[in-house]
A and B are shown apart, each in its own frame.
Chain A
């Protein structure tokens, strides 16, 4: 695409956003409650949030690069980059958070048949259906391919029995994309990828509380759950390839966590520690570690930008998802630790009026961040992926 037509697109996007993005949507989220996840029972924090989603969905810009016939915006990668920079320019909140947008949609586009795409993608793009991810099981975490949830062919339907765990937001989700075992005689080649309506008889969820006090994930039980034959994506026993591709999208997404923190660690430290005679942060050791962290953040941001440019230039960068996942998780965890350290006892509140909203968010955010190096594949497992897939290190050569 020529620079001129990209600039024309920028002008068009800017004008549209000026007109359509409500003022109250041009600030960072005040708290997690303000995030819009959509779904049949989805809640909107405000009328503006609802309007913002409706307008973005109408324009196809909740899923900018998906084809228009599936509810997307039909944009090229370069156009999308322009759109994202325009959204960022006005500080716009994402209109919709969604596992469907981040993880399921991209693999449906690649692996699903036409009926499945037509059925599911537009509902994801409009935020009508909220999805959860049924991968992990009590006995299958890092060794995901060891999963046992059974899926039997009963002629006119599939019959599912088993248990998933750590299913984020299963209690709010309308549908679940799920890995099931369709052949017990082999490991990776006996896995299939199915879609399950959570209102189906025999599906049950039980929330689990996290160390942060929130409970965004669940145990999910399937007892004699019948699903239609057309709910399998890809071929029978061909689910592992789809599962891995989806993980790449998930990892890329997780690695972007935390870049929108409301308070900056330097501001916290200035308030709590104060400045020395030279006008700089009084604690020289903490200052150095904050600087190191800030530089790591910058290096990471520059590298993400470089990867995007390389992807645009046609280089294959998909294998880099694991590297970004490890590095992004480490950064977010480190940032949260530095914030707690800088805040001192202001970070040791749990609830009540003795601590303000930002202080409590530091504490809760710090606890939640510990999951970043676990969810979507642990840091150790992703390092294995980098070593084996990217560097070609294997135990026999």
Chain B
């Protein structure tokens, strides 16, 4: 296990931070929302692809950068900090890893270069009800065609290709294939999503069966945890600044112990979460054995931590934290969506217990 970044990773992290601050600040998400372009910003995705991020996981031979999961995690974290609205997670993390793990040579050759170039947006269609429950899929498969429905598919509203989870397999389904229909959702976090219906839609199975489903879900969870870590870190830093500048009773409010102890608690939780996220991504890079437990650990802790920090973000700002003009609300809204996607903290705690045998 290693927690220290190498030089390449440090450069990547700094570049991602600079890019997101300059090209994709929170104001960009706000504008998207105000312009009623809920989660539709192809221009930003093009710019990110130009930076090489769409293909971070994709090996050189398919036109990617091959920088690994820790590298992608650093970019997701930076994007999380500024709530950048892009299909980075669903495409660069989930799409690329599903194809890398389960794609045939032909499937890889067809899709990976398009993913790496940013041409193809991928979405991961897993859940069929209001809660994450991958084992309860009712998807029907017959003669290379699938039928069923999927709810709240992140980036489903802009995807060109779907990775669809069935009870025992993952399938590739083209967005423009017959029998595929989608209803774009206007979502609280302004990121967009879609409800999907598949009606005898042509589907190609990926190799790897139920194990592949789990492995891709692990990557989805670990990657989203990295994004959430960035959100929590940024929300915490903004709150810390406010504690040092806002004055009441003739002193800065950060001098009040009731707030100091809560700030110290947030700091501790974020530090602990950072170790878990890094450990999960590092385990993915190494192909270590306990990826599943570490992915659940990272997602559960990121969920709990972000929940806490996003609430305190509003509370410690008082009235201004409740205004639409302030960014706190945007973080709060994204927080709850990210907490639930690919399994809430309680889902992953239960999974962790099962993995440990109790």
Q: A residues bordering B, Cβ < 8 Å? A: 266, 269-270, 280-281, 287-288, 290-292, 294-296, 298-300, 302-303, 305-306, 309-310, 313, 320, 323, 326-327, 380, 383-384, 386-388, 390-397
Q: Say yes or no: B350 contacts A291, CB within 8 Å.
A: yes
Inter-chain CA distance A229–B117, complex, in Å, is 75
Using CB atoms, name the residue of chain B closest to A327: B268
Q: Say yes or no: B3 contacts A305, CB within 8 Å.
A: yes
Q: Say yes or no: A383 contacts B353, CB within 8 Å.
A: no
Report the minimal beta-carbon distance from B356 to chain A, rounded to whole angstroms.
Answer: 7
Inter-chain CA distance A394–B271, complex, in Å, is 21
- Indicate which residue in A291, A302, A309, A395 contacts B255 across the interface (CB closer than 8 Å): A395
Which residues of chain B in 1-46 are interfacial with respect to chain A, using CB atoms and an 8 Å cutoff?
1-4
Residues of A within 8 A of B353 (CB): 280-281, 287-288, 290-291, 294
Using CB atoms, name the residue of chain B closest to A382: B264
Q: Say yes or no: B268 contacts A323, CB within 8 Å.
A: yes
Supposing A288-B349, A295-B301, A397-B245 touch, asked if A305 and B275 sit within 8 A by C-beta, the answer is yes
Between-chain CB contacts (< 8 Å), 24 pairs: A266-B357, A280-B358, A288-B353, A291-B356, A295-B297, A300-B272, A303-B272, A303-B274, A306-B3, A306-B274, A306-B275, A309-B3, A313-B4, A323-B268, A326-B268, A327-B268, A383-B260, A386-B264, A386-B267, A387-B263, A387-B264, A391-B240, A391-B264, A393-B252
Residues of B within 8 A of A386 (CB): 264, 267-268
Q: Say yes or no: B244 contacts A393, CB within 8 Å.
A: yes
Inter-chain CA distance A380–B273, complex, in Å, is 22
Q: Is residue B134 contacting chain A, with contact meaning CB distance below 8 A?
A: no
Q: Is residue B62 contacting chain A, with contact meaning CB distance below 8 A?
A: no
Supposing A294-B356, A387-B263 touch, asked if A323 and B252 sit within 8 A by C-beta, the answer is no
Report the minimal beta-carbon distance from A206 to chain B, rounded to whole angstroms.
Answer: 35
Q: Is residue B300 contacting chain A, with contact meaning CB distance below 8 A?
A: yes
Report the minimal beta-carbon distance from A317 to chain B, rounded to whole angstroms.
Answer: 10
- Indicate which residue in B245, B252, B265, B267 contacts A395 across the interface (CB closer than 8 Å): B252
Q: B residues bordering A, Cβ < 8 Å? A: 1-4, 240, 243-245, 251-252, 254-257, 259-261, 263-265, 267-268, 271-276, 278-279, 297, 300-301, 346, 349-350, 352-354, 356-358
Inter-chain CA distance A122–B275, complex, in Å, is 37
Q: Say yes or no: B245 contacts A299, CB within 8 Å.
A: no
Inter-chain CA distance A52–B155, complex, in Å, is 62
Residues of B within 8 A of A298 (CB): 276, 297
Residues of A within 8 A of B354 (CB): 280
Residues of A within 8 A of B274 (CB): 303, 306
Supposing A266-B358, A395-B255 touch, asked if A292 and B349 sit within 8 A by C-beta, the answer is yes
- Indicate which residue in B254, B265, B275, B300 contacts A383 across the interface (CB closer than 8 Å): B265
Residues of A within 8 A of B272 (CB): 296, 299-300, 302-303, 327
Q: Say yes or no: B352 contacts A396, CB within 8 Å.
A: no
Q: Say yes or no: A394 contacts B254, CB within 8 Å.
A: yes
- Indicate which residue in A299, A313, A323 contacts B275 across the interface (CB closer than 8 Å): A299
- Indicate which residue in A287, A326, A391 contacts B263 across the interface (CB closer than 8 Å): A391
- Indicate which residue in A294, A299, A313, A396 contacts B273 across the interface (CB closer than 8 Å): A299
Inter-chain CA distance A310–B5, complex, in Å, is 10
Report the minimal beta-carbon distance from B75 to chain A, rounded to whole angstroms.
Answer: 20
Q: Say yes or no: B301 contacts A299, CB within 8 Å.
A: yes
Supposing A310-B3, A323-B267 touch, asked if A295 and B352 sit within 8 A by C-beta, the answer is yes
Report the minimal beta-carbon distance from B299 to chain A, rounded to whole angstroms.
Answer: 10
Residues of A within 8 A of B349 (CB): 288, 291-292, 295
Q: Say yes or no: B252 contacts A397, CB within 8 Å.
A: yes
8 closest pairs, A vs B, by CB? A395-B255, A387-B260, A291-B353, A393-B254, A386-B264, A302-B275, A306-B3, A303-B275
Residues of B within 8 A of A269 (CB): 358
Q: Say yes or no: B276 contacts A299, CB within 8 Å.
A: yes
Residues of A within 8 A of B3 (CB): 305-306, 309-310
Q: Say yes or no: A309 contacts B271, CB within 8 Å.
A: no
Using CB atoms, name the residue of chain A closest to B261: A383
Inter-chain CA distance A197–B9, complex, in Å, is 54
Select the residue from A290, A299, A300, A327 with max chain B CB neighbours within 10 A. Answer: A299
Report the minimal beta-carbon distance from A160 to chain B, rounded to whole angstroms.
Answer: 35
Q: Say yes or no: B4 contacts A393, CB within 8 Å.
A: no
Using CB atoms, name the residue of chain B closest to A385: B264
- Indicate which residue in B4, B276, B297 contacts A309 across the interface (CB closer than 8 Å): B4
Inter-chain CA distance A288–B257, complex, in Å, is 32
Q: Say yes or no: A396 contacts B251, CB within 8 Å.
A: yes
Q: Say yes or no: B279 contacts A302, CB within 8 Å.
A: yes
Using CB atoms, name the residue of chain B closest to A308: B3
Inter-chain CA distance A323–B2, complex, in Å, is 22
Inter-chain CA distance A280–B351, complex, in Å, is 12
Report the minimal beta-carbon distance from A290 to chain B, rounded to whole angstroms.
Answer: 7
Report the minimal beta-carbon distance from A271 to chain B, rounded to whole angstroms.
Answer: 12
Using CB atoms, name the residue of chain A closest to B243: A393
Inter-chain CA distance A310–B275, complex, in Å, is 12
Q: Say yes or no: A291 contacts B352, CB within 8 Å.
A: yes
Q: Say yes or no: B276 contacts A302, CB within 8 Å.
A: yes
Using CB atoms, name the residue of chain A closest to B296: A295
Using CB atoms, name the residue of chain B closest to A280: B358
Report the minimal beta-carbon distance from A76 to chain B, rounded to whole angstroms.
Answer: 17
Report the minimal beta-carbon distance from A70 to chain B, rounded to whole angstroms.
Answer: 30
Inter-chain CA distance A323–B265, complex, in Å, is 9
Using CB atoms, name the residue of chain A closest to B253: A393
Q: Say yes or no: A397 contacts B276, CB within 8 Å.
A: no
Using CB atoms, name the residue of chain A closest to B290: A298
Inter-chain CA distance A306–B350, complex, in Å, is 26
- Indicate which residue in B255, B276, B279, B357 contacts A393 across the interface (CB closer than 8 Å): B255
Supposing A280-B358, A291-B349 touch, asked if A394 and B4 sit within 8 A by C-beta, the answer is no
Select the residue from B265, B274, B301, B353 with max chain A CB neighbours within 10 A. Answer: B353
